[in-house]
Chain A
Amino acid sequence: MIFAGLPLAQLAAIFFAVGFGVLVLYILKLRRRVAAVPFSPIWERILRDKEATTLFSKLKRLLSLLLQLALLALLVLALGDPRAADTLLAGRTVVVLVDASASMQSTDVSPNRLAAAKDETRRLVRGLGGADRMIVAQMDAMVTPLGPLTSDTSALERELDGIRATDTRADFPRALRFATDVLRGYDRGEIVVVSDGALGEASDASGPVHLGSAKLSYVKVGKGAKNVGITQFSVRRYPLDKSRYEVMLELTNTGPESEDVELQLLGDGELVDLTKLRLKSGERLPRFYPQLSGAARTLEARIARTDGTHDDLPADDHAYALLPQRRRAKVLVVTEGDTYLDAALLLDGYLDVTDVAPKEYAPALAKGDWDAVIFDRVTPAEMPKTNALYLDPRGPGAPVKVDRELKQPGFDKIERRHPAVRFLALDDVNIALGHKLVPEAGDKVLGAADGGASPILVAGARAGHKFVAMGFDVRDSDLPLRAAWPLFVLDCIDWFTDDDAQYLSSLRTGEVWRLPVGAAVSEAAVKRPDGVTQSVPVHEGRAVLLGEESGFYELTAGAETTMFAANLLDASESSIAPQDKVLVAGKEAGVVEGFHSGVRREIWIYLLLAAAALSALEWATYHRRVTV
């Protein structure tokens, strides 16, 4: 037995000092109130029945004194905080990872899996031993410890209230690495995963997670598996008719039975399409809606069972998308005259094109707020402070160095992933004459001749402004005769204005979003789908935040407010069947043991309880006149 509180000598001193006081109080006979009565024999008569012997009376007083001294002894011992030596030395350090991913919003257990997980964690907290310590962390796309490592069970229970479900998938490897970091240096480390088991592989870019000597336990939550979810949802405008758009979505039935669902598509809150579908168990059903119109900004897909009931996971029954904004881009064309270029720019009705001669370039540039400038066989002395497309640049003002002349170069190598040249057929373009461009570090070669050795199409950025440089005059090639020419021009402008055809109609929750904002802004505010507005930092012209909730967001940076949508769209999270086991590095997690609810190892609690019981006994005996 070890006294973790006051030392034994001090306890003894307190006991004897206070005990002496108690003894003195008992020895001193309290003066009774004196009262006259007219005829004492009547009192004698009623008291005769309960008259006790003097010895018994003394014994009663002695019993009372002993009760008081026992009470004192219990309180003094409690002050000492006595603990069994082995429990003091061998306390466990427990990291509880509470899964707060989207699948934990499943309502197969009442009220939902997350609440059940909290209850399970609460049981673990209450079952902590006196020498145990615990830390509780929320596991979703991030790992968020809810407090420090502590033995304070009430603080741990309070922390549980802070757990909120997110529309993200759980980053299990990250959580395990966090847990192993916490347990580093502790002998009896234990990791308890409270989850439905939909956690994926315990492995990340750094390789599989190794837990070392820590014990891994798994508390399973959930029982149902019926769910149909929207696992893909995307929308885009047609490049050449931006009033129309097409929608692609995918439904997945992860449940064990066939499901009849009703799919609603809403544009700006109005019903655009309604379809009834039957999905077999495990079926993934893609749906494509071409040539849609009627929505200006927002699109929402909803599914519901045809019988009016809901499946076990409502979080994936909605998907949101935002159509790209149809903003008119202002383009300044500096040219002596180029019919091919003008024709290409005419194809997009959302472009405000202004043609200027090279000598009028400077005042025209200063006059307007241009989204892009196209230099056709003209190269300014210095780069404009906006995005620019250089067609056959020359001289020192070019964004890249223009090297030697190339005879009959071709696009031998094309960077097809770049938005400016994606989906363009440039392989067989015939070019009479061109120049080799020398890209700088960070620039991207979009097309190169001589087997890739001589770049003739380069993209990059200078001082935060994008540019594309093409090392030949289109009139020296058959490119203007091809469909790729106007698409190339428009793709470049779209890329400049972030309005490319690969516009992401929605973001994925659980990822860190980097949203472009004005360069002059240092902080932005985001209004989340739940209506809460939070400020987010801006780094290198982009607002950075971790998306945890699906729905429509509003990003306010300076005076400008833009919207974006976010979705879960994760088939693994939609698959809500709880897993019976969790594997980490090939090792199966065990069941939790050693958490005995209601049994605490702090002896002082029991001492206090005993003191309270003795007080109650003393109170009862006093009022029943046993000890007086």
Chain B
Amino acid sequence: MGLLDLLPWRRDKAPAAARDEDLFDEEFQRKLDYLALVSRRVFAGRLRAERRTKKSGSGVEFADHREYQPGDDFRYLDWNAYQRFDRLLVRLFEEEEDLAIYFILDTSSSMGFGTGDKLRYAKKVCAALAYVGLANLDRVSIVTTSDRVLERMAETRGKARIFKAFRFLRSLEAGGKTDLEDAMKTFVAQHKRRGLAVLVSDLYDPQGFERGINVLRYNKFDPFVVHVVDPAEARPKLHGDVLVYDCETGDEREVTVTAKLLQRFAEAQARYLEQVERYCASHQVPYVRASVEVPFDEMILRVFRRGGFLR
């Protein structure tokens, strides 16, 4: 720490950097090992059966039927079933192959808003899930997005590569606007290999969070939403006449903040979270709300319990 760091207006920056350094310390890594162990215990018996993607048509072992959707390959239509039930069903086969897990980490400015807790938390969640994935011999890749794909950690596998992931995550900083649709379009264009796409974001997308998720869905990725939420954002410390501006778009708005208005804001925030959750539930998109006030390891266990990540 330099002398300048002793200045009062610089003090809050120095500890933030220190916190970033400590993000993946030994304690964190011990917790990762524990989580990996837990994930194996939970799914004991299927440990060796590596994850399998549902990739219709290319496997040999019949897995399931599903409704025909426009665009599906006619070759996989189950004509027998059609004769029997008068419904168009597509046969699904399990294809034994490595699962590709993509961690799409939102690093827009809103993720670093305030004390930056959301981004730090997102990094931890990302690292933990990546570790579990690496430990299960999955191919893990991390990409960061704002209104586009910013950086990318190439696919890798094996537990020992987690340090690469740590380094990558450490280097990330918040900045830029959120446009999930554009970013996801770029992502799917760059990643032909389908797989689990874990979107770790606060979903503050002015264009609508659904559009980005839909891009993943429509391109046969299995989206998994980790919604990073900072409860403090529902209780902004504002009062009186203020000019509020969006930290990403810079949109300004004159507001006279009263207690009643703050209450309505908290309600609107809660409604927004419910809207996201409802959307994911209605579209069978696994959804986990990750509050920064919940310890990250407990959060990961929640992800395990929720299902959809471990198969």
Tell whether A625 is near chain B: CB-to-CB under 8 Å.
yes
Residue of A38, A44, A625 near B202 (CB, 8 A) is A38
Interface residues of A in 11-47 (CB under 8 A from B): 30, 32-47
Residue of B206, B240, B247, B264 near A36 (CB, 8 A) is B247
Cβ-closest chain A residue relative to B108: A38
**A499–chain B nearest beta-carbon distance, Å:** 91
Contact (Cβ within 8 A) B253 A47? yes
Complex Cα distance, B252 from A33, in Å, reads: 12
Contact (A33, B242) CB under 8 Å given A38-B233, A47-B255: yes
Contact (A42, B241) CB under 8 Å given A36-B247, A37-B246, A625-B258: no
**A376–chain B nearest beta-carbon distance, Å:** 111
Tell whether B261 is near chain A: CB-to-CB under 8 Å.
yes
Tell whether A599 is near chain B: CB-to-CB under 8 Å.
no
Tell whether A2 is near chain B: CB-to-CB under 8 Å.
no
Tell whether A628 is near chain B: CB-to-CB under 8 Å.
yes
Complex Cα distance, B240 from A35, in Å, reads: 11
Complex Cα distance, B272 from A37, in Å, reads: 15
A41 partner residues in chain B, CB cutoff 8 A: 206
Tell whether B244 is near chain A: CB-to-CB under 8 Å.
yes
B247 partner residues in chain A, CB cutoff 8 A: 36-38
Contact (A38, B253) CB under 8 Å given A46-B261, A46-B268, A625-B258: no
Complex Cα distance, B113 from A308, in Å, reads: 88
Contact (Cβ within 8 A) B242 A32? yes
The interface bits of chain B over 233-259 (1 if a CB of A lies within 8 angstroms of the residue's CB, else 0) are 100101011111111110101111010
Tell whether B269 is near chain A: CB-to-CB under 8 Å.
yes
Contact (Cβ within 8 A) B254 A32? yes
Cβ-closest chain B residue relative to A37: B244
Contact (Cβ within 8 A) A39 B110? yes
Cβ-closest chain B residue relative to A623: B258
Contact (A42, B245) CB under 8 Å given A36-B113, A625-B256: no
Tell whether B76 is near chain A: CB-to-CB under 8 Å.
no
Contact (A40, B249) CB under 8 Å given A30-B241, A35-B244: yes
Contact (A39, B204) CB under 8 Å given A32-B254, A625-B258: yes
Tell whether B265 is near chain A: CB-to-CB under 8 Å.
yes
Complex Cα distance, B224 from A165, in Å, reads: 96
Q: How many residues of A contact B (CB 8 A)?
A: 19
Contact (Cβ within 8 A) B243 A33? yes
Interface residues of B in 100-116 (CB under 8 A from A): 110, 113-114
Contact (Cβ within 8 A) A39 B243? no
A44 partner residues in chain B, CB cutoff 8 A: 253
B251 partner residues in chain A, CB cutoff 8 A: 40
Complex Cα distance, B245 from A44, in Å, reads: 11
Residue of A30, A36, A45, A628 near B268 (CB, 8 A) is A45
Q: How many residues of B contact A (CB 8 A)?
A: 31
B258 partner residues in chain A, CB cutoff 8 A: 625
Contact (Cβ within 8 A) A34 B242? yes
Complex Cα distance, B254 from A34, in Å, reads: 9
**B283–chain A nearest beta-carbon distance, Å:** 21
Contact (Cβ within 8 A) B238 A35? yes
Cβ-closest chain B residue relative to A40: B246
Residue of A33, A35, A46 near B264 (CB, 8 A) is A46
Contact (Cβ within 8 A) A34 B245? yes
B265 partner residues in chain A, CB cutoff 8 A: 42-43, 46
Complex Cα distance, B244 from A34, in Å, reads: 6
**B249–chain A nearest beta-carbon distance, Å:** 7
A34 partner residues in chain B, CB cutoff 8 A: 242-245
**B122–chain A nearest beta-carbon distance, Å:** 14
**A328–chain B nearest beta-carbon distance, Å:** 95
**A420–chain B nearest beta-carbon distance, Å:** 99
Complex Cα distance, B240 from A40, in Å, reads: 17
Residue of B238, B248, B256 near A628 (CB, 8 A) is B256
B243 partner residues in chain A, CB cutoff 8 A: 32-35
Cβ-closest chain A residue relative to B258: A625
Cβ-closest chain B residue relative to A44: B253
Complex Cα distance, B251 from A41, in Å, reads: 9
Cβ-closest chain A residue relative to B261: A46
Interface residues of B in 140-188 (CB under 8 A from A): none
**A71–chain B nearest beta-carbon distance, Å:** 22
Complex Cα distance, B240 from A625, in Å, reads: 11
B269 partner residues in chain A, CB cutoff 8 A: 42
B206 partner residues in chain A, CB cutoff 8 A: 39, 41
Complex Cα distance, B113 from A40, in Å, reads: 13
B245 partner residues in chain A, CB cutoff 8 A: 34-37, 40
B110 partner residues in chain A, CB cutoff 8 A: 38-39
**A68–chain B nearest beta-carbon distance, Å:** 18
Contact (Cβ within 8 A) B233 A36? no
Interface residues of B in 201-255 (CB under 8 A from A): 202, 204, 206, 233, 236, 238, 240-249, 251, 253-255
A30 partner residues in chain B, CB cutoff 8 A: 241
Complex Cα distance, B272 from A34, in Å, reads: 24
**A298–chain B nearest beta-carbon distance, Å:** 77
**B276–chain A nearest beta-carbon distance, Å:** 12
Complex Cα distance, B251 from A237, in Å, reads: 112
A42 partner residues in chain B, CB cutoff 8 A: 265, 268-269, 272
Residue of B113, B240, B255 near A43 (CB, 8 A) is B255
**B232–chain A nearest beta-carbon distance, Å:** 10
**B96–chain A nearest beta-carbon distance, Å:** 43
Complex Cα distance, B256 from A30, in Å, reads: 13
Ranked 10 nearest A-B pairs via Cβ: A40-B246, A39-B204, A38-B113, A38-B110, A32-B243, A36-B247, A46-B264, A33-B242, A35-B242, A32-B241
19 A/B residue pairs, CB under 8 Å, sorted by A: A32-B254, A34-B244, A35-B238, A35-B242, A35-B244, A36-B244, A36-B245, A38-B204, A39-B233, A39-B246, A39-B248, A42-B265, A42-B268, A42-B269, A42-B272, A43-B253, A46-B261, A46-B268, A625-B258
